[in-house]
Structure 1
Amino acid sequence: MSTLSPPSRTLGRTGIEVTTVALGTSGLGRGTAPGSPQESAAVELATAMLASGRTIDTSNEYAGGRSEPVLGLALPAVRDAASRVVTKVDRDPETGAFDRDRVLRSYEESLRRLGVDRVRLLHLHDPYTVSYEEAVAPGGALAGMLELRDSGAVDAIGIAAGPIPLMTRYVDTGAFDVVLSHNRFTLVDRSAAALFENARTRGMGVVNAAPFGAGILATGATGGTTTGAGAGRAPAAAPSYGYRPASAALQDWARRAEAVCAAHGTTLRATALRFSTRSPLVDMTVVGVSSVPRLTQLDALEAETIPDDLWAEIDALGPAPTPIDDDAPGGAG
């Protein structure tokens, strides 16, 4: 793992400095019991992630609620790391409630688990159990987010979810400082581009998560065991994209993209990461990391040289057949 400070940027108008590549913790501590050897191993990984100097992205509900407690056990070992932790409020796991009161409770739970007094940036995460109209109504989730920011409990608030039509409605409120979308601004799927451009015109910070599409851009067209950074989930037997099976057409596109990358002396994985980090639309790219070796590999990926003329050849392949359709029933994800 590199001892150099990772590259950083300012997150839109927030004034918050974040690393260009942040570490996602959606799988951190999953299935571990407090005090178990498995928890100790997760804390070891969390300590390495915090010591990397990178921004850490977590959530109240990640890993069934275990991600934040594991980070909380690791935080005392790494000086000044708490200021680099970003979390998210989530719906009530039992009732699905997601109103103003739940937002405040979720944030309190997160602070208690992390062992911190506050976080600088807090996202409203996956508001799918309530309608947009309910979320923005008096007493809704948005009211809770605004209350936290207006009271100084957090410095900035964000909206973090997937489907672009829904995300656009939240961004258009003008209430949020940051937008986070996942799996929708990659070599395969660029449907978040207009959303990110909209956010940029408002001075918002932009966070792009899952630049590998949670699958094929990390595993390659053949799928199988993931050999690079960004595998926060167990590897699938067959290639996937956005947690959905990759079609034969997408696998063919990925094979051709791999050939282009190889001809330029690089890999599809490194190219997928650079696609996000080089974009003027993106301030921070979130990559899931599941082990200490993957963290080291991420340093190498970020530093890899990508020839400028590669991008035109990737574009010449034509649009990749993404399996994500936000207009289809069940498109939230």
Structure 2
Amino acid sequence: MTSAHIPDLTPLTLGTSPLGQGTTPGSAEEAAAVETAIALLRSGHFVDTANMYADGRSEEVIGIALGELSAEEREDAAGRLITKVDRDLETGILDGDRVRRSYEESLTRLGLDRVRYLHLHDPYRTPFAEASAPGGSIEAMVALREAGATDVIGIAAGKVPVVSQYVATGAFDLLLLHNRLTLVDQSATGLMTEAKNRGMTVFNAAPFGGDLLAKGSAAGTSYAYRPVTDELRAWTARAEEVCARHGVALNAVALQFSLRSLLVDSTVVGISSPARLEEARALAAAAIPDAVWGEIEALGAAPTTVRDEWEEVL
């Protein structure tokens, strides 16, 4: 996989949002999380984290793991690490000052002087007029790149109408969207197309949409943080029937739907253990007959639960 902004980008990027959640320093649970982080960092894949993930523990655990690698491994892994600046979790503020503080917090936790790839994350609580004004988050992100504090900046969020405003500024090199380019929802297609036309590198996160496409129609309970409706469950069951006829797993088809898209440079999959990493690799490598794609398309559009257009856009 090649990208104008990330030439060595891997098709799979490993997400770490729950890494270290609820662990305390020195605990057995932290040690297990560190072992997972070491496996991710040694995997050769890009690794994605954020200031707010697991209340900062995701970055802290990754920082510990980086410290346990050899100097050569550490340099290699650090070059494939992506993090995100986040709002202040107490005040909700995400202005220029908060962007700089968030980045400093992340670097301290990670034990690094800089990261090459940095996203502005979930700017939902900040009106776009404030984000784009002097002293706002966009100006601060651009300044970090221009000062050499990071190499590449991105916008990472889910709601297409919100993210579209940031893409339209032309300030960002990367786009990360989640839950909106999957078997059951392709509402990101237009924005991803625009981003590609602008020369941006596109990450597609949450290809399983929560647990629906990972666990299937019987066990899945949510899609894009919403309960699965009866209609969506029924559509998913029909997709499972297609997969069963061809001897393939629904979750493999769901992952490869993203991997095969010409709009996607890398697909972000959450990894909670070394075993989950191996499972994701196996799903990515599974042979999917060409007929599967046509038969799933013939099912028609899925009754997605995503309703971005009904939600307030700040």
CA distance in 2, matches of 1:301, 1:67: 25
Q: Deviations over 1:16-59 (max 9, x none)?
A: 42110011000000001111111111101111111111100000
Q: 1:330 to 1:212 in 2, by over 3 A?
A: farther
Q: 1 CA distance for matches of 2:55 and 2:248? A: 37
Does the 8 A contact of 2:161 with 2:313 survive in 1?
A: no
1:129 aligns with 2:125: yes
- From 289, 309, 312, the equivalent of 2:294 is 312
- In the other structure, the counterpart of 1:195 is 191
Match for residue 47 of structure 1? 38
How much has 1:327 moved relative to structure 2?
A: 1.8
Q: Which moved more, 1:294-303 or 1:180-189?
A: 294-303
Q: 2:280 aligns with which of 298, 317, 330?
A: 298
Shift of 1:214: 1.2
Q: Secondary structure at the match of 2:309?
A: coil
Which among 61, 64, 72 is matched to residue 73 of structure 1?
Answer: 64
**1:10 equivalent in alignment to 2:6:** no
Distance 1:275 1:246 in 2: 20
Query: Residue 228 of structure 2 aligns with which residue?
Result: 246
The CA distance in 2 between the partners of 1:183 and 1:294, in whole Å, is 19
Q: Does the 8 Å contact 1:325/1:331 carry over to 2? A: no
> In structure 1, how many angstroms separate the alpha carbons of the residues matched to 2:2 and 2:161?
26
Corresponding residue of 1:322: 304
Please say if 1:97 is aligned against 2:93.
Answer: yes
The number of equivalent residue pairs is 309
Q: What is the CA–CA distance in structure 2 between the aligned matches of 1:330 and 1:258, rounded to whole Å?
A: 34
| 1:59 corresponding residue in structure 2 | 50
8 Å CA contact retained: 1:215, 1:243: no
Runs of 4+ displaced beyond 6 Å: none
Partner of 1:259: 241
**2:94 equivalent to 1:112:** no
Structure 2 stretches of 5 or more lacking a match? none
Alignment of 1:33-44 (within 5 A): 33-44=24-35
- What one-letter code is carried by the residue in structure 2 that aligns with 1:286? V
> What's the CA shift for 1:215?
1.5
1:109-154 CA distance string (max 9 Å, x none): 1011001111111000000121011101000000110010000111
Work out the percentage of aligned pairs sharing the same amino acid: 57
Instruction: Find the aligned partners of 2:12 and 2:230 in 1 and give their Cα distance.
Output: 31
TM-score, normalised with respect to structure 1: 0.91
